[in-house]
Amino acid sequence: MSGQVREQRSEERARSGADRGSEPEASSDLTVLPVTVEHHREPFGIGETTPRLSWAPRTDLPGWRQSGYEVEIEPEAGEAWSSGRIESAESVLVPWGAPPLVSREHRSVRVRVWTEGAAEPSAWSEDVVVEAGLLEPADWTAELVRPVLPADVDEPVALLRHEFVLGKPVARARLYATAHGVYEAELNGSVVDDQVLAPGWTSYSHRLRYQSYDVTALVREGANAIGVQLADGWYRGYLGFTGKRSIYGDRTGVLVQLEVEHPDGSRTVVVSDDAWRATTSGPLTRAGLYNGETVDFRRELPGWSEVSYDDAGWGPVDVGELDVATLVAPTGPPVRRTQTLPVQAITTSPSGRTLVDFGQNLVGRIRFTLPDGPAGTEITVRHAEVLEHGELGTRPLRAADATDVITLDGGAGRVWEPRFTFHGFRYAEVSGWPGELTADALEAVVLHTDLRRTGTFTCSDPDVTRLHENVVWGMRGNFLDIPTDCPQRDERLGWTGDLQVFAPTASFLYDTAGMLRSWLADLAVEQLEDHGGVVPMYVPFVELLPFPQQPETGWGDAAVVVPWVLYQRSGDAGLLADQWESMVAWIDAFAGRAGEHLDFPGGGFSFGDWLDTAAPPDNPAGARTPWQCVATAYLARSARTVAQAAEVLGRDGSRYAELAERAAARFRAEYVSPNGRVAFPSQTAYALALEFDLLTPEQREHAGRLLADQVLKDGFHIASGFLGTPLVTDALTNAGELATAYELLLQRENPSWLYPVTMGATTIWERWDSMLPDGTINPGDMTSFNHYAFGAVADWLHRTVAGLAPAAPGYRRLRVAPRPGPGLTSAAATHETPYGTAQVSWTLTAGTQFALEVTVPPNTTGEVVLPDGGAPVEVGAGRHSFTATIAEPRPVEKPALFFNPDDHQ
C-alpha cells in the first residue's frame, strides 16, 4: 500500500479542519482500531468491488456496547461518502454502502462509533487506504511471454527483461503480474516486493491469482528497465509422489502490466509482449520445489534488470495464450519470510559429515554468508527433518532431493538464499565448505503464508505446552499458499481430509479466512466443473495415480466442514453463501455413494480412519473401525451441518435435515446395540457416535462409559486415526469422563500425543511412531515429521482445558468453561476475535482452590461456567475474576495390569 496516498489524505483533512470544527468532541476513553477490509491483511489490489468492513473498539469501560457507527469513505478527489449515523451494534463485516470500487480506484476509509447510553462519538479511526486491482478482463493488455527453455536442462530458471522510457514525471506506479510458474520481478535493479513463490498454486485452468505492487518509488522519468526471474514452480515442476512434471504445461511464462500515472492525469502502460528478451544463462541453473536450487556465481549477470544492460546475446520470447478471464485477485496474504532462526549446533556425524542443527523443524530455506573460496568451489547442502543414528535422515524425502548447490566465483562476503524452492528441515548436511563452517555463516529463513497470529495456549505441563507449540509450527510449515499434508517429501498436496479435521484448530491459531476462501474456491470449481460433484481428495487436484473418483468420507466432507467452521469462528455468512453450491453437491454425491438404504453397498476402497494406531506401516488404511461405519456417521453430521447452513442463509434445508436423521438411524440400526454398545469396540466408533449426536439419550450414557472403558483397555493410549482422534477427548469430556480424557492427553508412551515430545519433536508427526524409541525412522514408505492432522487436539486444549470458545458465530458471544483435570494446575489461552482480544487464564492451588481471570472484548458478552457445578454467569465486556472451591481432580483408577500390548498388534 502506498504510504504516500495515506499521508496525502491526512494532509487534506488537516487543511479542511474548518469544516470539521463543528463536530462534537470525541469520547476520550475509547479508540477504534483501523478498519479491516474483508479478510485482507493489506487491502491493496483487492478484487472485491464492495468490500465489507470491520472494526474493533479499544476501551477499558466495563460492559461497553456500541449503539451506532458512522463510516466515511473518501475518494482521492471529490466528495466523501458517509453512511451517517447508523443505529446498530454491528461492527464485523459491515456492508460497504458507498458506490462500488472500479479498477485501480483507491479510497480512504475511517469509522467512528457511539457508546450505548452516551451522546458523543469516539474519535475517528485512522484512515485505511483501500485500492482495487484490475477487476475486468478488458483491463489487461499484457501478453503472456514465454522464454525458450533448453531441452537438456532440468528445472531451468529464465531471466526476462525489457527497457522502456517514461517521458513525464511519475505520480504513481502499479505493477500487476502473474505467471505460469513462480516469479520474482525487479525494476531498475530492485526487487519489487517481499512476496515469495508468487503467484502460488491454484487450479490454474480455472483460477490464476495475480499480484499488485506499489512501485512508485522504483520507477522514474526517463529510461527504466524491468526484469523477471521465472522458474517452474507448481505449474511446470515435479508434483506429487509419482515423478510427474509439466502437469499444467511444458512452458513457463509471465504476464506483466506496469501502469504509471503522471501528475497531469495521463497514464503510461508498459506490458509484456514480443519485444521482451529472455535467457537461461543466468546464475540460477536449476530450481525446483522438491529438488532444491543450484546457483553458479561464475555465471552472474550484473545489472541484468537495469537500464543499458547489453542483452544482445539474449533470445526473443514467444507469446503464449492465457485467458485473462481466469485472473483473480488474492483473497488472503501471500507467502513471505516471517522469521529467521540461528544455528543451534554444528556437529560431525559418525561418518564424518558436517551437520547443522537449527533446533526447530521448519519450512523454508537457509540464508548463507558465503566464504572466500576459489572460483569453482562447490558447496552442497542437503536438508532433512531428523537424524537417524547420527546421520541425516533422508529416506522420508522419497524422491525429493531437497539439495541446494552453490558454486563460488572467488568473491567474498556474498549473502545468498534460494528463491524458488522450499524445504522441510531441522538439519542440514554441508559439504565442500572451504575452511571452517561457523554458526554465523548460516541462518534458517522461515516461509509460510503470512497469516495473522490470533491464538495462544500455555499450561502448567511443559510437555503439553510444547505439544501446542508443535501444532503451531506444524501449521506454519504446511500453510504455505495452500494447506498441505507435509512440506518435505515428494507430495506437499492440499489433502482435504487433513484440513477437515484441523480447521477448528487452524482458525483459532491464525486468521485463515482469506487464505482458505481461495482454497475453497478451487475446491468448488474443480468439484463442480471437473469431478461431477465429487470433491477431489486433494486440492488443487492433479492426476497422479488411478485413484477412483468417488466420494471419500472425511475428505470430501471438507466441502461442508471447512466453510462451517470458518463461519462459526469468523462470523462470515458470506463464506457459506459462496460455498453453498459446493456443499449441497457434496452431500448429493455422498448420499449417492451411500445408496438408497444408506448402507454403502458398492464397497471398494476408502481412506477411512487413516493411520489408526492399529494400521501396519505398509497399510495405513487398516483401521479398527470399518470405513462404512465412519462414512455413515460422517454423512449424518455433514447433512445436519448443511441443514444448519441453510437456516443461516434463509434457505430450505429440510431435505438435508431429513437425510441426517435417516443416516443417524441407519448408524444406530447397523452399528449400535439398544443399550449403546458399538459393533466395533474402538475409540473412533464410540467417539463418532457420541460427538456426531447419533445416539438416543438412553444409549448415550452407556456409550460414554464404554468409551472410557475402551480407552482403559487400550492402556490410555491413542487407538484411533485421522478421523477419530480429533473427537475422542471431546467425547470423553461430554460423557462425564474428563479424567480419562486427561489421562489420554498426558500419556507419554507410544502411541500418544506426548510420545513425540519426549523424543524431541518440534512439530506434529504424521505417524504416532514416525520415530521409533531406538531412534530409527518408521519403516513405512509414508513417514513425515511435520503433518498437522493429529494436532487437531489443540482445539480441545483451547475450548476445554483453557476453556475459551465461541458461543455465537464470530465470538460475538464467548463461552468460558475451563475444565481442570488431573495433572494440570494452570492453563491460559488468548484469541484475537473479530471484536478484540479474549483472554482466559486459570490456576488451581491446594488441589481445590480454583481462580479464573477472563477478558471479554468490547461489544460482546460472555457466559462463564465455573467447574464447581454452579449456574452459568453472564458477563459483559471487560475484565472479570472468579474463584471457586472444586473437587480435587483425580486420575482414574487403573487396574494393576490394565494394558495388554498384544491388543495393539
Residues with a catalytic annotation lie at 491, 766
Distance of alpha carbon 790 from alpha carbon 750, whole angstroms: 14
Cβ 59 vs Cβ 859: under 8 Å: no
Distance of alpha carbon 748 from alpha carbon 789, whole angstroms: 19
Cβ 337 vs Cβ 364: under 8 Å: yes
From the list 328, 315, 325, the residue with the least C-alpha distance to 146 is 315
Distance of alpha carbon 413 from alpha carbon 650, whole angstroms: 64
Cβ 572 vs Cβ 513: under 8 Å: yes
Cβ 102 vs Cβ 76: under 8 Å: no
Distance of alpha carbon 200 from alpha carbon 613, whole angstroms: 35
Cβ 695 vs Cβ 734: under 8 Å: no
For CA atoms 866, 869, 870, 871, give the dihedral sign: positive
Distance of alpha carbon 646 from alpha carbon 657, whole angstroms: 10
From the list 435, 399, 393, 442, the residue with the least C-alpha distance to 417 is 442
Distance of alpha carbon 226 from alpha carbon 162, whole angstroms: 5
Distance of alpha carbon 251 from alpha carbon 158, whole angstroms: 11
Report helix, strand or coil for 453.
strand
CB atoms within 10 A of CB 262: 17
Residues contacting residue 745 through CB under 8 Å, at least 6 positions apart:
464, 729, 753, 754, 793, 801, 823
φ/ψ of 427, rounded to 5, equals -115, 150
Distance of alpha carbon 450 from alpha carbon 466, whole angstroms: 23
Distance of alpha carbon 187 from alpha carbon 270, whole angstroms: 12
Distance of alpha carbon 860 from alpha carbon 863, whole angstroms: 10
Distance of alpha carbon 291 from alpha carbon 784, whole angstroms: 17
> Per DSSP, what are the bridge partners of residue 113?
69
Q: How far is CA 849 from CA 650, 815, 824, 899, in A?
A: 47, 21, 13, 34
Cβ 94 vs Cβ 52: under 8 Å: yes
Check residue 22 and report its DSSP letter: T
Report helix, strand or coil for 270.
strand
From the list 476, 460, 483, 582, the residue with the least C-alpha distance to 528 is 582
DSSP track, 659-722: HHHHHHHHHHHHHB-TTS-BSS-SHHHHHHHHHTT-S-HHHHHHHHHHHHHHHHHTTT-----T
Q: How far is CA 836 from CA 175, 822, 831, 856, 859, in A?
A: 35, 32, 8, 8, 9
DSSP track, 525-551: HHHHHTSTTPPPSBSS----S----S-
Report helix, strand or coil for 639.
helix
Distance of alpha carbon 125 from alpha carbon 188, whole angstroms: 37
Number of H helices, E strands in the chain: 16, 47
Cβ 687 vs Cβ 680: under 8 Å: no
Please count the residues of the chain.
905
